[in-house]
Amino acid sequence: MSTDGIRVHPTAIVEDGAEVGAGTSVWHHAHVRDGARIGQSCVLGKNVFIDTQAVVGDRCKIQNNVSVYHGVHIDDDVFVGPAATFTNDLVPRAFNAAWKVVGTHVSRGASIGANATIVCGVTLGEYSMVAAGATVTRDVAAYQLVAGTPARHLGWVCRCGKVVSRELVIPENLVCEECAAGGNSVGT
């Protein structure tokens, strides 16, 4: 199916009441719930689930087997790697009828590696980078690189994603040599 430049694979489900922006592709077996908002020019890979009231900005790429639950807000230009996991309940019990949704915010340009887990209640700063397999249990600063379980500071990255420092203190210049030399049209 293709409507307004939106491409939806025949096996995908986009419920009535879901908002999907122009130029977005929804691939095999993906499911976008009523009340979800997806921006323009996004790619939702195979088996992606976007829950009711979840928000995905423009130009995002969400790889295969990712579930974006109610309470997750993803800004523009975010990359979410395969099988990354978001949670939305700090005290999960199958029998807890009074559970509370705890929000998570993924800021513009952030990248989340494959199989990373983002525990609810955190903010991932602009252009931050979460390494594959990391478990994020606290906020990640803008341009910060974190890795491990639980995720810990590993360095600082340029807007393009290259590591510019391994120090604990954020450097004055967050632009890699290649970007500074005009290799990319990015800056801080």
- Check the CA dihedral 66-70-76-78 and report its sign: negative
Tokens of 124: 């991932």
Dist CA 114 CA 176 (whole Å): 24
pLDDT digits (tens, 9 = 90+) for 86-111: 999 999 999 988 889 999 999 999 99
pLDDT digits (tens, 9 = 90+) for 125-166: 999 999 999 999 999 999 999 999 999 999 999 999 999 999
Tokens of 121: 């209640």
Residue 33: φ, ψ to 5°: -80, 160
pLDDT for residue 183 is more than 90: no
pTM for the model stands at 0.94
148, 134 contact by CB (below 8 A): yes
